[in-house]
Amino acid sequence: MLAPRRINFRGIVAIDFVTFFAFAIWQVLFNNYGRETFGATASQIGIIQAVREVPGLLGFGVGLLAMFTSELRISTISIAINGLGLIIAGTANSIWMLGVGTLIMSTGFHYFVSANQSLLLNYIRGHESGRLQGVMASWEAIAGVAGTIVVFLLSFVFGYRMILVSAGVAFVVTGMVLSFVFKSNRIAGETSLFSMKKSYWLYYVISFLRGCRRHMFSTFAIFLLVANYKLKIEYTALLFFVTSAITIVTNKQLGNLTERLGERFLLAFTSFLLIFIFAGYAYVVSLYVLLVFFVIDSVLFGSSVALNSYIRKIAPKRDLTNALSIGLTMNHVAAVVIPIAGGVMWDTLGFRVTFIMGAVIVMLDMAFSLLVKPPKNRKSFAEEVVGVERV
């Protein structure tokens, strides 16, 4: 048996890659699987997507768990939980069992994201936050490309169920193995605190608004293409492939731009662009233009590195995991309601109203982003963290 070893930046990226590979498989398959296998409506998809966000709503649990175990252990076990959810989704005999599998998968994914982000931010040093987050985000995009290719190829040979179950088994095994491969990321006696501090209010508000925006997009943008334009699974997979391939480059560049232009500019400018994207979803009738909007929207997700860089600059190491986990919860407070509300609006008032609501949300996000102003001189965090090799 291999002796456990300390994790480095490459190790953090590797376990991040595994999780986003698993998520890409679910993301590419979900809408077509739900629609074609169970005849899911917009409201049902909205309800399942809302249920999927419950673990994010309870994301503060990561901060609580971090008081008793390391962020690394939370990350690796979450990979196994993610795989278990895929297995249940793949063996579902009803739309509601699909929802149960989605909930379990989402628990693993959300808890992983918060724990692994803290693991990374605690590991890097000095002013490399944006750059290294960009590097990791690019590897997440590569994972998306890999997952999309796998779905695209296997869809010609296997059904949706076989792909989900096979992937789920693989990720359960991988998560358990990684739990034994790496040692804890903490030194002896190191602990994490749990509290909600007023000084981080702006981070929490922007996290909330970005959660609203993100779930409007992830729930209804692809569903618009599938339901209104009858986009087939092969083209859905190809769309995700192109998007992931492009973000391999753009995620790293957005990380670099965060260091060069600052967190405020990147957050506010991307929100400004999204106003037009959401308005386009509502009124543009060309499928090809909507596909371009989908790609641009996906690229702009990479601006989240700026928000993480901001909290790293204002929060000391002992608060970081806790602040990130509460930020995850705030990100999902409205996200539990938004998919249901958007689905009901779609079914009763038409899809345009759903996307107009999204445009209003990103306008508010832009307004609060203009208030971001990280401290110019902050040496305490750099003194607290362990250095990282150049990548």
Interval 28-58: pLDDT, tens: 888 778 888 887 777 787 788 777 877 777 7
CA distance 300 to 296: 6
pLDDT value for 226: 82
pLDDT value for 84: 92
- Shortest CA distance to 9 belongs to which of 112, 146, 129? 129
The enclosing domain of 277 has a CATH number of 1.20.1250.20
Please check whether residue 35 lies inside any domain of the structure. Answer: yes
Q: What is the pLDDT of residues 177-235, one digit of tens each?
A: 887 776 655 544 444 555 566 778 898 889 888 888 887 887 788 888 887 888 887 78
Mean pLDDT across the chain: 79
Confidence label for 387 from pLDDT (cuts 50, 70 and 90)? very low
Mean pLDDT of 97-114: 86
CA distance 361 to 129: 27
| Structure-token match 């987050």, residue found | 133
Question: Regarding predicted confidence, which is higher, 349 or 4?
Answer: 349
Q: Would you state the structure tokens that stand for residue 125, as one six-digit string?
A: 């040093």
pLDDT value for 144: 80
Mean pLDDT check: name the lowest of 54-58, 148-152, 228-232, 295-299: 54-58
Q: Would you state the structure tokens that stand for residue 63, as one six-digit string?
A: 């901060």
- Shortest CA distance to 115 belongs to which of 57, 76, 171? 76
CA distance 173 to 196: 36
pLDDT value for 222: 83
pLDDT value for 194: 53
Please check whether residue 94 lies inside any domain of the structure. Answer: yes
Per the document, the length of the chain is: 391
| 332 close to 36: Cβ distance less than 8 angstroms | no
pLDDT value for 364: 93
Residue type at 137 in one-letter notation: A
Please check whether residue 3 lies inside any domain of the structure. Answer: no
The model carries a pTM of 0.69
Decide if pLDDT at 355 tops 60.
yes
Confidence label for 384 from pLDDT (cuts 50, 70 and 90)? very low
Please report which residue ranges of 262-373 form alpha helices under DSSP H.
263-283, 287-300, 304-314, 317-333, 338-349, 351-369
Mean pLDDT check: name the lowest of 58-67, 95-104, 363-372: 58-67
Mean pLDDT of 366-376: 83
CA angle 342, 365, 304 (to 5 degrees): 95
Confidence label for 289 from pLDDT (cuts 50, 70 and 90)? very high
| Structure-token match 């609006």, residue found | 345
Please check whether residue 391 lies inside any domain of the structure. Answer: no
SS3 315: coil
Decide if pLDDT at 309 tops 50.
yes
CA distance 84 to 64: 23
Dihedral, 344, 346, 349, 354 alpha carbons, nearest 10: 100
Confidence label for 274 from pLDDT (cuts 50, 70 and 90)? very high
Return the beta strands (E) in 163-257 as ranges. Answer: none
pLDDT value for 386: 40
CA angle 294, 297, 303 (to 5 degrees): 155
Decide if pLDDT at 116 tops 50.
yes
- Shortest CA distance to 317 belongs to which of 206, 133, 187, 211? 187
Q: How many CB atoms lie within 10 A of CB 159?
A: 12
CA distance 88 to 329: 25
Decide if pLDDT at 95 tops 80.
yes
| 155 close to 235: Cβ distance less than 8 angstroms | no
pLDDT value for 251: 80
pLDDT value for 63: 66
Q: Would you state the structure tokens that stand for residue 101, as one six-digit string?
A: 């599998």
Confidence label for 307 from pLDDT (cuts 50, 70 and 90)? confident
Q: How many domains does the chain have?
A: 1
pLDDT value for 235: 82
Structural domain containing residue 355: 9-374
Please check whether residue 327 lies inside any domain of the structure. Answer: yes
- The half-sphere exposure of 202 on its side-chain side, counting CA atoms within 13 A, is 19
pLDDT value for 379: 46
pLDDT value for 196: 64
Q: What is the pLDDT of residues 222-270, one digit of tens each?
A: 888 887 888 887 788 788 778 878 888 888 888 788 878 888 999 999 9
Mean pLDDT of 338-366: 87
CA distance 310 to 127: 11
Confidence label for 59 from pLDDT (cuts 50, 70 and 90)? low
- Shortest CA distance to 120 belongs to which of 249, 267, 305? 305
Q: What is the pLDDT of residues 196-205, one digit of tens each?
A: 667 788 988 8
Please check whether residue 4 lies inside any domain of the structure. Answer: no
Please check whether residue 300 lies inside any domain of the structure. Answer: yes
Question: Regarding predicted confidence, which is higher, 388 or 363?
Answer: 363
CA distance 173 to 87: 12
CA distances from 7 to 116, 133, 188, 244 (A): 12, 17, 16, 26
pLDDT value for 382: 39
Question: Regarding predicted confidence, which is higher, 208 or 124?
Answer: 208
Beta bridge mates, 5: 182
CA distance 226 to 290: 12
